[in-house]
């Protein structure tokens, strides 16, 4: 069932200098994501998840290590990979309408004006935002804004979507709606998704495979195959005995890591 | 009983007029204009120095009818605009370069810090030496004075662009030029526009001043010329015209800004 | 610190380069040395005029006018701004008048004031005060109006009367905006002073510069302009210093920018 390897991080490491000492945000991150897979990374808060993601798409230069997309080493933000940020209000352009925000990502592609509009419109309708094309993003609710950001990602048609805690800034109800929306998009477009979260239940609910990060400097502590039926359901999946076992296991792991962080005084 | 009720509503009406409208302010203006008419006429103020309102208005209308005021106004506006547009080109370019490229800002930092607080009018004598009393004299001073607000605001604006907008654009494959054109400049535009507004007012001030000091045309010249020729009502009409020009240009600017920057107003209102 | 030095070094090198260019261009007569004497000559003139007391005297006179007009504006406009910010009827009464007078370029009233007051100190102080009034008034008013109502309510809950609320809450909370008005107004005071001195005065640094130009003492003219630049820079530095000491948030903001 898993396709060929699409994304591979090898010994990824990023450090920064504070005063005299060198602090590692992430150290030795090695993992891979296969085509069509939904992978979630969970880790204690403040363990350098965002730094790791930014290194993955070369927004930050890794101090050491390599990232491969389709077995090609990358040295600049790769076209095949799109990162969606947690903070939608800071990644949508407030001076562009919803439609123009989506069109932004198509402006570099060789397409006719009509093709661009068609792609943008269908991406917006995939996230149920038809009819809001001419609104400004800041006129919409938080959940809707994050859906615009997602529509922008899928309109670009990348091989893999990276998401950095995409649902952390919305309320609980919207959050579960967005979780289902992203699952729907994942299966509809046969996307490959790597999603980073601090929410254990969210990770299990969404993923085929969960990677648990250790505290700073973060490494992959454990890899857990999630064996739950699809399509998933907010009620029945989360009541499944296996779901609860996964949660128990991952929760224990993260607690341990969190305590290590506290002892280290971070 | 009814009388009392009416009394109360009248009282409330007066109260709401005083609180909600600027009627009292308009009445104050009217009162000042009446004073302006009465005091000189009654000789309480020396009418040679401070002619009655009607006399000044008469001079203004006469000046408009004869075309003299309009001609001088057109010359002043032309000079102000030339200087203003040069300042926009220089200010926006320099501001963007210093705001986005580190070594440019390192290079210009100290020079800018020394030149910026320099009052533009202090350069008037140099400009006179270079350009005589030609339009270039006025325009060069206007350009110098108007560049700074635009430059500083553009610099601040490009500096304050949210890094996540940049990251987003980079992820979607934007080149450096794309970043500048599609992210940095639009994001900095609200700042740039507020610099443009300040500079517009500055351009009117400086054109007046340079014309007062050394010119043979323009509204500033007209004011000094009528002052020296003791044509006092005409002098006042010139001052009023400058005020009207400043007011009108600012009004036009605000209209245009309201239309072009609607997104920013809405966005700011939302994010507060 | 090392990096700080290297960034400053680039800026200083550039400045020296400009001065050097001025010297070379003028000495080789690429621009008329009559209008642009070599910078070394101008600096010598500056040094001599500073030493014999001519320039310091002129600048002290000018500074007297600048601060006179500025403080006159502060004394009148800050109370008025506070009243307009606090009381809607007073705002309604004066707002149309200020809106009408604000777009008037302050130098345009110089001839009017000259008619009544001649070319003495009173004329300059009045014109400077007029020019400084609007930024001070408007910023004071805006500052007072934008004070968080919760702060006022909190103070009232703790039994502060109206005067205490104004002194202990509204003024401190609007201080940085009031100061913004000062920051805008003081450079304006300098500009308007120079203009007023150029239009009509017997002394002062603005008058000195124009006089030297008319007498074709060009190095002396540049010396005067250098001094104006120094005064402008010093006023700016003074404002920045006051800003840092009076309003602590500036420092935090400054550090956040780096």
CA–CA dist C105, B202 (Å, integer): 8
pLDDT at residue number C254: 42
ipTM of the complex: 0.85
Nearest CA among B144, B149, B153, B145 for reference residue B192: B153
Q: What is the phi/psi pair of residue A195, to 5°?
A: -120, 130
pLDDT at residue number B2: 47
SS3 B209: helix
Contacts of B57 (CB under 8 A, 6+ apart): B237
d(CA A80, nearest CA chain B) in Å: 9
Interface of A with B (CB under 8 A): 54, 57, 59, 77, 79, 81-83, 85, 87, 89-91, 93-96, 104-105, 107-108, 136, 138-139, 152, 156
- Say which of C97, C103, C236 has its CB closest to residue B247: C103
- Testing the interface with B: which of A55, A76, A95 to mutate, by most B Cβ within 10 A? A95
pLDDT at residue number C208: 93
pLDDT tens digits, one per residue of A144-178: 999 999 999 999 989 999 999 888 888 888 898 89
> CA-CA distances (angstroms) from residue B105 to B108, B152, C164?
5, 12, 47
pLDDT at residue number C256: 45
Residues in chain C within 8 Å Cβ distance of B49 = 115-116
Contacts of A226 (CB under 8 A, 6+ apart): A204, A207, A208, A209, A210, A246
> What are the residue ranges of helices labelled H in B21-134?
23-42, 53-66, 68-100, 102-115, 124-131
d(CA C18, nearest CA chain B) in Å: 9
Please tell me whether residues B16 and B120 are part of one structural domain: no
Q: Does B47 map to a domain?
A: no
Residue A162 contacts residue A84 (beta carbons within 8 Å): yes
pLDDT at residue number A265: 52
CA–CA dist B13, B20 (Å, integer): 10
**Residue A263 pLDDT more than 70?**
no
- Cβ of B167 within 8 Å of Cβ of A54? The answer is yes
Please tell me whether residues B75 and B112 are part of one structural domain: yes
Q: For residue A199, how far is the Cα from the chain centroid?
A: 13
CA–CA dist B152, B155 (Å, integer): 5
CA–CA dist B127, B87 (Å, integer): 16
> What are the residue ranges of helices labelled H in chain C?
2-27, 39-51, 54-86, 88-101, 110-117, 121-145, 149-157, 162-165, 171-199, 205-214, 218-246, 249-257
Burial of B215 (0-12, 13-18, 19+ CB in 10 A): buried
- Cβ of A91 within 8 Å of Cβ of B189? The answer is no
Residue B184 contacts residue B100 (beta carbons within 8 Å): yes
Residues in chain B within 8 Å Cβ distance of A152 = 172
pLDDT at residue number B1: 43
Angle at A129 (CA atoms; ends A124, A133), nearest 5 degrees: 75
Which residue has better confidence, A262 or C220?
C220
- Say which of A81, A90, A138 has its CB closest to residue B165: A90
Residue C225 contacts residue C212 (beta carbons within 8 Å): no
Helix, strand, coil tally for chain A in percent (to 5): 40, 25, 35
Q: What is the phi/psi pair of residue B173, to 5°?
A: 80, 25
Topology of the domain covering C41-257: MetI-like fold (1.10.3720)
Nearest CA among A37, A34, A36, A29 for reference residue A12: A29
- Cβ of A136 within 8 Å of Cβ of B263? The answer is yes
- Cβ of A136 within 8 Å of Cβ of B189? The answer is no
- Say which of B119, B204, B247 has its CB closest to residue C228: B119
Nearest CA among C150, A172, C99, A23 for reference residue B244: C99
Contacts of B229 (CB under 8 A, 6+ apart): none
Nearest CA among C91, C123, C112 for reference residue C193: C123
d(CA B42, nearest CA chain C) in Å: 18
Q: Does B89 map to a domain?
A: yes
CA–CA dist B41, B47 (Å, integer): 7
Please tell me whether residues B158 and B247 are part of one structural domain: yes
- Taking residue C187's Cβ as centre, other Cβ atoms within 10 Å add up to 21
Quote the number of domains for chain B.
Answer: 2
- Taking residue B82's Cβ as centre, other Cβ atoms within 10 Å add up to 19
Residues in chain B within 8 Å Cβ distance of A104 = 169, 172, 182
Please tell me whether residues B30 and B80 are part of one structural domain: no
Domain boundaries, chain C: 1-36, 41-257
**Residue A86 pLDDT more than 80?**
yes
Residues in chain B within 8 Å Cβ distance of C2 = none
Task: Give me the CATH number covering residue B256.
Answer: 1.10.3720.10
* DSSP string computed for C117-128: HTTSHHHHHHHH
Please tell me whether residues B69 and B9 are part of one structural domain: no
- Say which of C94, C198, C235 has its CB closest to residue B124: C198
- Cβ of C92 within 8 Å of Cβ of B24? The answer is yes
Domain of B195?
53-262
Residues in chain B within 8 Å Cβ distance of C187 = 117, 119
**What's the number of CA atoms in the CB half-sphere (13 Å) around residue C205?**
35
* DSSP string computed for C243-258: HHHH-THHHHHHHHH-
Please tell me whether residues B21 and B105 are part of one structural domain: no
- Cβ of B171 within 8 Å of Cβ of A82? The answer is yes
Q: Does B180 map to a domain?
A: yes
Please tell me whether residues B16 and B77 are part of one structural domain: no
Strand positions, DSSP E, A49-132: 64-69, 72-73, 81-84
Residue A41 contacts residue A250 (beta carbons within 8 Å): no
Residues in chain B within 8 Å Cβ distance of C196 = none
B177 touches chain A (CB under 8 A): no
CA–CA dist C130, C124 (Å, integer): 10
d(CA C158, nearest CA chain B) in Å: 28
Tens-digit pLDDT string for chain C (258 aa):
556 666 678 888 888 999 999 898 888 888 888 888 888 988 999 999 999 988 999 999 999 999 999 999 999 999 999 999 988 889 999 999 998 888 889 999 999 999 989 888 899 999 999 999 999 999 999 999 888 888 888 888 787 888 888 888 888 888 888 888 998 899 999 999 999 999 888 889 999 999 999 898 999 999 999 999 999 999 989 988 887 777 655 445 444 443
Residue A15 contacts residue A63 (beta carbons within 8 Å): yes
> CA-CA distances (angstroms) from residue A4 to A11, A40, B83, C76, C140?
20, 18, 63, 78, 67
First vs last C-alpha separation in chain C: 14
Size of interface B-C (CB pairs under 8 A): 164
Residue numbers of C between 59 and 98 with CB closer than 8 Å to B: 88-89, 92-97
Residue numbers of C between 222 and 241 with CB closer than 8 Å to B: 224-225, 228-229, 232-233, 235-236
pLDDT at residue number C141: 93
- Cβ of C213 within 8 Å of Cβ of B24? The answer is no
SS3 A138: helix
SS3 A239: helix
pLDDT at residue number B212: 93
Query: What size, in residues, is chain B?
Result: 272
Please tell me whether residues B104 and B153 are part of one structural domain: yes
- Cβ of C116 within 8 Å of Cβ of B122? The answer is no
Residues in chain B within 8 Å Cβ distance of C238 = none
CA–CA dist B197, B268 (Å, integer): 19
> CA-CA distances (angstroms) from residue A167 to A26, A202, A235, B33, B165?
23, 10, 19, 63, 19
CA–CA dist C2, C78 (Å, integer): 44
Region of C199 please: left (phi>0), alpha (psi -120 to 50) or beta.
Answer: alpha
Low-confidence ranges of chain B (pLDDT < 50): 1-3
Nearest CA among A56, A125, A138, A143 for reference residue A89: A138
Please tell me whether residues B99 and B58 are part of one structural domain: yes
Residue A260 contacts residue A215 (beta carbons within 8 Å): yes
d(CA B239, nearest CA chain C) in Å: 6
Q: For residue A36, how far is the Cα from the chain centroid?
A: 14
CA–CA dist C51, C45 (Å, integer): 10
Chains in contact with C, where contact requires at least 3 CB pairs less than 8 Å apart: B
Please tell me whether residues B164 and B230 are part of one structural domain: yes
Please tell me whether residues B122 and B59 are part of one structural domain: yes
- Cβ of A87 within 8 Å of Cβ of B167? The answer is no
Q: Does B120 map to a domain?
A: yes
pLDDT at residue number B267: 84
pLDDT tens digits, one per residue of A118-142: 999 999 998 889 999 999 999 998 8
CA–CA dist B255, B262 (Å, integer): 11
pLDDT at residue number C255: 45
Q: Does B235 map to a domain?
A: yes
Cis peptide before B147 (omega within 30 of 0): no
Please tell me whether residues B24 and B132 are part of one structural domain: no
- Say which of B164, B170, B271 has its CB closest to residue A87: B164
pLDDT at residue number B272: 56
């Amino acid at each position: 069932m898993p396709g060929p390897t699409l994304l591979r991080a090898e010994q990824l490491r990023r450090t920064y200098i504070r005063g005299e000492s060198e602090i590692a945000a992430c150290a030795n991150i090695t993992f891979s994501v296969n085509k069509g897979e939904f992978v979630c990374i969970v880790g204690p808060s403040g363990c350098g998840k965002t730094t790791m993601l930014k290194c993955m798409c070369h927004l930050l230069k890794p101090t050491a290590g390599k990232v491969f997309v389709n077995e090609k080493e990358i040295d600049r933000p790769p076209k095949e990979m799109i990162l969606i940020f947690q903070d939608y209000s800071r990644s949508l352009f407030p001076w562009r309408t919803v439609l123009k925000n989506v069109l932004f990502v198509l402006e570099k592609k060789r397409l006719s004006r009509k093709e661009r509009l068609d792609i943008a419109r269908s991406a917006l309708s995939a996230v149920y935002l038809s009819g809001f094309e001419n609104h400004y993003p800041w006129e919409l609710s938080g959940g809707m804004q994050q859906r615009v950001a997602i529509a922008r990602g899928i309109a670009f048609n990348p091989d893999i979507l990276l998401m950095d805690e995409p649902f952390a800034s919305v309320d609980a109800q919207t959050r579960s709606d967005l979780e289902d929306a992203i699952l729907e998009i994942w299966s509809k477009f046969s996307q490959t998704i790597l999603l980073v979260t601090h929410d254990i239940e969210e990770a299990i609910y969404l993923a085929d495979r969960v990677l648990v990060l250790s505290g700073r400097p973060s490494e992959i502590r454990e890899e857990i195959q999630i064996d739950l039926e699809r399509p998933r359901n907010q009620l029945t999946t989360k009541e499944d005995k296996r779901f609860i076992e996964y949660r128990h296991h991952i929760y224990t792991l993260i607690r341990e890591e969190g305590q290590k962080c506290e002892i280290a005084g971070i | 009983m009814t009388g009392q009720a009416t009394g109360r509503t009248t009282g409330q009406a007066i109260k709401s007029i005083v609180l909600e409208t600027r009627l009292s302010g308009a009445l104050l203006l009217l009162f000042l204009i009446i004073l302006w008419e009465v005091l000189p006429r009654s000789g309480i103020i020396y009418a040679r120095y401070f002619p009655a309102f009607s006399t000044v208005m008469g001079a203004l209308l006469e000046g408009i009818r004869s075309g003299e005021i309009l001609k001088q106004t057109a010359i002043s506006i032309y000079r102000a605009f030339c200087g203003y547009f040069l300042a926009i080109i220089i200010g926006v370019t320099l501001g963007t370069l210093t705001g986005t490229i580190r070594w440019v800002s390192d290079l210009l930092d100290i020079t800018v810090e020394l030149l910026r607080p320099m009052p533009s009018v202090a350069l008037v004598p140099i400009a006179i030496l270079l350009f005589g009393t030609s339009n270039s004299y006025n325009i060069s001073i206007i350009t110098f004075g108007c560049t700074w607000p635009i430059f500083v605001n553009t610099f601040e604006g490009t500096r304050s662009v949210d890094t996540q907008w940049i990251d987003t654009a980079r992820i979607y494959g934007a080149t450096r030029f794309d970043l500048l054109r599609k992210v940095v400049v639009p994001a900095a535009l609200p700042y740039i526009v507020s610099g443009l507004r300040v500079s517009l007012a500055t351009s009117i001030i400086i054109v007046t001043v340079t014309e007062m000091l050394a010119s043979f045309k323009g509204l500033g010249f007209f004011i000094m010329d009528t002052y020296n020729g003791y044509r006092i009502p005409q002098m006042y009409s010139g001052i009023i015209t400058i005020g009207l020009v400043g007011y009108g240009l600012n009004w036009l600017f605000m209209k245009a800004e309201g239309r072009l920057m609607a997104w920013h107003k809405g966005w700011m209102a939302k994010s507060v | 610190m090392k990096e700080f030095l290297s960034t400053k070094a680039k800026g200083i090198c550039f400045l020296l380069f400009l001065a050097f260019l001025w010297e070379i261009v003028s000495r080789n007569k690429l621009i008329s040395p009559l209008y642009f004497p070599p910078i070394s000559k101008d600096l010598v003139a500056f040094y001599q005029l500073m030493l014999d007391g001519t320039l310091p005297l002129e600048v002290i006179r000018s500074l007297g006018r600048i601060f006179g007009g500025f403080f006159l504006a502060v004394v009148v406009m800050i109370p008025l701004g506070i009243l307009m910010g606090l009381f809607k009827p007073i705002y309604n009464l004066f707002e149309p008048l200020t809106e009408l007078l604000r777009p008037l370029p302050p130098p345009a009233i110089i001839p009017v004031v000259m008619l009544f007051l001649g070319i003495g100190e009173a004329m300059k102080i009045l014109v400077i005060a007029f020019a400084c009034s609007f930024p001070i008034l408007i910023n004071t008013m805006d500052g007072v109006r934008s004070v968080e109502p919760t702060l006022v309510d909190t103070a009232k809950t703790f039994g502060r009367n109206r005067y205490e609320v104004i002194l202990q809450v509204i003024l401190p909370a609007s201080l940085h905006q009031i100061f913004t008005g000062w920051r805008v107004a003081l450079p304006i005071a300098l500009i308007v002073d120079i203009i007023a001195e150029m239009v009509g005065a017997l002394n002062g640094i603005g008058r000195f510069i124009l006089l030297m130009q008319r007498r074709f003492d060009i190095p002396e003219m540049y010396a005067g302009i250098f001094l104006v630049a120094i005064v402008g820079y010093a006023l700016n530095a003074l404002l920045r210093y006051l800003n840092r000491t009076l309003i602590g948030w500036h420092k935090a903001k400054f550090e956040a920018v780096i």
